[in-house]
Amino acid sequence: NWTTGNILEEQVERIRQQIGDSKVICGLSGGVDSAVAAALVQRAVGDQLTCVFVDHGLLREGEAEQVERDFVAATGVNLYVANEQERFQSALAGVSDPETKRKIIGREFIRAFEEAERAIIAQAAAEGEKIKFLVQGTLYPDVVESGGGEGAANIKSHHNVGGLPEDLQFELVEPLRALFKDEVRAVGAQLGLPQEIVGRQPFPGPGLGIRIVGEVTKERLDLLRKADAIARAELTAAGLDNDVWQMPVVLLADVRSVGVQGDGRTYGHPIVLRPVSSEDAMTADWSRLPYDLLARISNRITNEVDGVNRVVLDVTSKPPGTIEWE
Ligand code: XMP
């Protein structure tokens, strides 16, 4: 449509004006905003852009691959991947308190991102180039409220706080600053980004780390990823993606209950489904998903995910509940 086309051309032209022939860096979180911002800058200045993806191992099934393979294929962007799964796992070992987990994930993310930045700066310096700009996927509502956002919020708050050493000061490029989420999705689709990325639900920066109630371990992450993938696949198959704002799937790792499966007793963990309807995540209501869909999700998760013997539905609005459990 002509409006999206105009936004795209206008932004590409602005980005070219701002960046000139300098080098620019952009963090990808796996979310929509950073992906669309990066794709716009790539369209405007091509190879002058390097994207950084810190893989903290806390994303959902398939998401890291969608960034590393599908996003790169769709845009041709230069991508620097920092494989930091082990770093995050060891930093989170033995930690169950939600705020402590959030702080650790935020801190490690900043450190990992800075290390990646330094590597890219050094590489550019070796070629006699300097990185002058940093892209951020700030949306209009972020500008107004300076809250919310997706995974990129980690990068956002970090760089906005200005806690960077002198040699890492960048000028910001914010190509989504005038746009709302639906416009960002439209621009992303126009730029040829995969639907899995453009249509993605909001997902918290700390990722699955705050969807495991209890200590975060590799085994628990793998288990939760499986359960989450089943729940998402069934929601999509039922054609209800657009009817829910987001559907966190939560593992109660510190809770066990007795069950029976085959002819044996089980003592496993519950999985919580948290489908919500919302306009802006400030308030939310629990989604009245069809019972047969809930039954399919429950059957599949208890049959296919080892260690889970119960699926429960969260029927709390926000307030008093929050959307995420931690
Ligand atoms: P709550 O749980 O506060 O979540 O009702 C509101 C919305 O924010 C998302 N969320 C986050 N997003 N970094 C983010 O970028 C975070 O640390 C974070 N925590 C929660 C949540 O998924 C929901 O959309």
CATH of 2-198, one of 3.40.50.620, 1.10.10.60, 3.40.50.2300, 3.60.15.10: 3.40.50.620
CA of 127 from ligand 1 middle (Å) equals 40
Q: What is the pLDDT of residues 234-253, one digit of tens each?
A: 999 999 999 999 999 999 99
**What Å distances lie between residue 275 and 30, 31, 218, 281, CA to CA?**
21, 19, 25, 12
Tokens encoding 181:
């989420």
Give the residue extent of every domain in the chain: 2-198, 211-313
**What Å distances lie between residue 259 and 226, 265, 300, CA to CA?**
20, 6, 16
For residue 108 and ligand 1, the question of a CB distance below 6 A is answered with: no
Instruction: Provide the ipTM.
Output: 0.99
Q: What is the pLDDT of residues 190-233, one digit of tens each?
A: 999 999 999 999 999 999 999 999 999 999 999 999 999 999 99
Residue 161 has pLDDT above 60, yes or no: no
- pLDDT bracket for residue 4 (50, 70, 90): confident
For residue 318 and ligand 1, the question of a CB distance below 6 A is answered with: yes
Distance of CA 43 to the CA centre of its chain: 22
Mean pLDDT of 90-100: 98
Class of domain 211-313 as given by CATH: alpha beta
Q: Which atom of ligand 1 is nearest to the CA of 321?
A: 5
pTM metric for this prediction:
0.90
Residue 158 has pLDDT above 70, yes or no: no
3-state secondary structure of 273: strand
